[in-house]
Structure 1
Amino acid sequence: MAALVWLAAALVLLGVEALSGELILLMLAGGALAASGSALFFDLPIAVDGVVFAVVSVLLLAAARPVAKRHLMRRPALATNAEALQGKTAVVTAEVTSRGGQVRLDGDTWSARPMHDADVYETGQDVMVMQIDGATAVVWKG
């Protein structure tokens, strides 16, 4: 009977984890599954099952969760959108000052401003895109 209670607890925790996505309840569900297994295979007092639940849950939270979080939060290997433009060379098409300017970047014309307000880039100069701020390329002559 205790094994079924622990199994039901694990299933409830898994269901709630599906809604939250923080991986905490997933680790607790692992502890509940371990307690369910100990209750099923060993005829021990329920307090021992509780200790199994606590120990396995803490171990999973300390060891498995950080690895799983890091894996889930990893950025894609291929840069997309604005990230793909960072580090590219652009050509100044209209003088770039702290008040604005334009550059040609990957065949498109972008509004641009210098990375440092005091910098001025003349038409025809090659500059490097340091970041994309909204629809403006922040450029620098390296």
Structure 2
Amino acid sequence: MNIDAWVWWLIGAAGLGIGLVITAMPELGMLAVGAVAAAVVGGLGGDAVMQVVVFAVVSVALIAVVRPIAARHRSQRPQLATGVEALKGKQAVVLERVDGSGGRIKLAGEVWSARALNSELAYEVGQEVDVVDIEGATAIVL
């Protein structure tokens, strides 16, 4: 039995796809797309040299274009701050006098221990303050 070249390309693409799933290496997916492109060329009657050229060009083009885009997205900070980072910059209301040694504030509906960023300043009950940092379970306010 003689198997057409395009079938071998599809078998190769499937093998690369399985490798992608197992290893999570996106480059294997790009090579699989190149193999599918070569299978299309083979199915349309292209010779072996043309199939290999299409495989190489499509694979290299995808790796050259997609990898830098993926790296750029991976290095970006998330748009939505969560946890302690989300509390920085929020306003709070003083519940107990806050100075350089401590106090209490209401921040995001919760009671937090707090201390003034500038130890010479004090904030009185009812005053609004800005949270500039969180150190452990203590909000640093200004």
For the criterion TM > 0.5, the same-fold answer is: yes
Tell me which residue corresponds to 1:41.
Answer: 44
Q: What CA distance in whole angstroms lies between the structure 1 residues aligned with 2:28 and 2:135?
A: 38
Q: Residue type matched to 2:129 in 1?
A: V
Report if aligned partners of 1:96, 1:102 keep a CA contact under 8 Å in 2.
no
Q: What CA distance in whole angstroms lies between the structure 2 residues aligned with 1:6 and 1:14?
A: 12
Report if aligned partners of 2:99, 2:119 keep a CA contact under 8 Å in 1.
no
Instruction: State how 1:64-75 maps to structure 2 within 5 Å.
Output: 64-67=66-69, 70=73, 75=78
Q: What CA distance in whole angstroms lies between the structure 1 residues aligned with 2:32 and 2:94?
A: 57
Q: What CA distance in whole angstroms lies between the structure 2 residues aligned with 1:135 and 1:85?
A: 12
The structure-2 alpha-carbon separation of the partners of 1:37 and 1:109, relative to structure 1 and needing over 3 Å to count, comes to same
Query: Would you say how many aligned residue pairs link Structure 1 and Structure 2?
Result: 135
Choose which of 2, 7, 24 in structure 1 pairs with 2:5.
2
Q: Residue type matched to 1:122 in 2?
A: Y
State the TM-score, normalizing by the size of structure 1: 0.68
Q: Residue type matched to 2:61 in 1?
A: L
Q: What are the superposed Cα offsets for residues 3-44 of structure 1, whole Å, 9 maximum, x if unpaired?
A: 112111212222222344442222111111111111211231
Q: What CA distance in whole angstroms lies between the structure 2 residues aligned with 1:3 and 1:101?
A: 74
State the TM-score, normalizing by the size of structure 2: 0.68
Matched residue of 1:110: which SS?
strand
Q: What CA distance in whole angstroms lies between the structure 2 residues aligned with 1:108 and 1:44?
A: 71
Highest CA radius of gyration, 1 or 2? 2
RMSD value over aligned CA atoms? Answer: 3.2
User: Which ranges in structure 1 are unaligned for 5 or more consecutive residues?
Assistant: none
Q: What are the superposed Cα offsets for residues 35-73 of structure 1, whole Å, 9 maximum, x if unpaired?
A: 11112112312x4322211210111122234446639x7
Matched residue of 1:128: which SS?
strand
Q: Percent identity?
A: 40
